[in-house]
């Protein structure tokens, strides 16, 4: 099978992008793909822990904006799209066993069981399209990189075994446009909304901005401010703390692209 390059998918229609991902020909990040449609983070876990995890999302809506939940054992995310198979339609998945990252894979068909529940959580990639339309460059998209993500010192509200610090993503924004960026991203509550911090990263527990915990380092040029948003990798930290026998997530930066319009106030499919 021939791999498809990122630049070949930029501008391709949503369903074409998902077909390529499903085929296994594209396994990289999804920033900038499927423009106009909501991208989501994933957490897939046994039904026995699903209610506690739903409580965790409800108590922490900034890092965990819940956009969809599957039926138990059903891999078809019919509330997110008309042909989405969660086992194949994400470029890469992380498999956690007993709270530890066990492996990363590109297909979870062989791992899927009939007691699993899928949670879809909004992603900051969605508001990035709006920022780019406003003329605010996104360095990681322009340079084919994954946005940098960091463990912060901001506590989340626990639920059952799920707890931990908030993960944040960072984008360098021109000083004179931080207020504008805040106003734009606030319009996307399903995609983490407004930033949680702007300025000195040490104030939220980040001691070395040049070395993110996930993603790729990104520069903060003169005249720019590091701006931090709540990040959908936060549930992966909570999953590590919960030490479940099995849990599956997206690999950071490798999202599910849905059929939901990115500016939807609630995650509802448009009529066919």
Residue 212 maps to which CATH number?
A: 3.30.2040.10
The secondary element (H helix, E strand) that includes residue 40 is strand 37-46
Give the N- to C-terminal CA distance of the chain in Å, as an integer: 32
Number of domains in the chain: 2
Q: Which CATH number do you get for residue 72?
A: 3.40.1640.10
Query: Are 163 and 193 members of one domain?
Result: yes
pLDDT of residue 86: 97
Can you give the residue range of the structural domain that contains 25?
Answer: 18-124+243-261
Coil, strand or helix: which one is 105?
A: strand
6: in domain: no
Query: Are 23 and 119 members of one domain?
Result: yes
pLDDT of residue 125: 75
pLDDT of residue 1: 46
Tell me the C-alpha distance between 151 and 153, whole Å: 7
Contacts 24+ apart (CB under 8 A), 72-76: 72/47, 72/114, 72/115, 72/116, 72/117, 73/113, 73/114, 73/115, 73/116, 75/112, 75/116, 75/118
Residues of the chain with pLDDT under 70: 1-2, 265, 268, 270-272
Query: Are 116 and 248 members of one domain?
Result: yes
């Amino acid at each position: 099978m021939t791999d498809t390059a990122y630049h070949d998918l930029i501008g391709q229609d949503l369903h074409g992008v998902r077909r390529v991902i499903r085929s296994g020909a594209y396994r990289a990040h999804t920033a900038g793909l499927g423009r106009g449609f909501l991208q989501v983070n994933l957490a897939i876990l046994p039904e026995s822990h699903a209610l506690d995890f739903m409580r965790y999302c409800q108590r922490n809506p900034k890092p965990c904006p819940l956009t969809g939940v599957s039926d138990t054992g059903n891999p078809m995310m019919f509330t997110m799209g008309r042909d989405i198979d969660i086992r194949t339609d994400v470029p890469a998945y992380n498999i956690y066993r007993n709270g530890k990252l066990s492996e990363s894979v590109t297909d979870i068909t062989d791992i899927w069981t009939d007691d699993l529940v899928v949670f879809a959580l909004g992603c900051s990639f969605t508001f990035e399209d709006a920022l780019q339309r406003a003329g605010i460059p996104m360095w990681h998209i322009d340079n084919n990189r994954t946005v940098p993500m960091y463990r912060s010192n901001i506590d989340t509200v626990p639920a059952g075994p799920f707890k931990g610090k908030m993960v944040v993503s960072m984008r360098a924004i021109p000083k004179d446009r931080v207020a504008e960026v805040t106003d734009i991203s606030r319009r996307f509550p399903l995609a983490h909304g407004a930033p949680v911090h702007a300025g000195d990263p040490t104030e939220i527990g980040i001691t070395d901005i040049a070395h993110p915990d996930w993603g790729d380092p990104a520069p903060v040029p003169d005249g720019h401010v590091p701006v931090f948003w709540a990040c959908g990798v936060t549930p992966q930290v909570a999953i590590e703390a919960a030490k479940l026998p099995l849990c599956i997530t997206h690999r950071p930066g490798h999202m599910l692209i849905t059929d939901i319009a990115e500016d939807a106030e609630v995650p509802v499919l448009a009529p066919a």
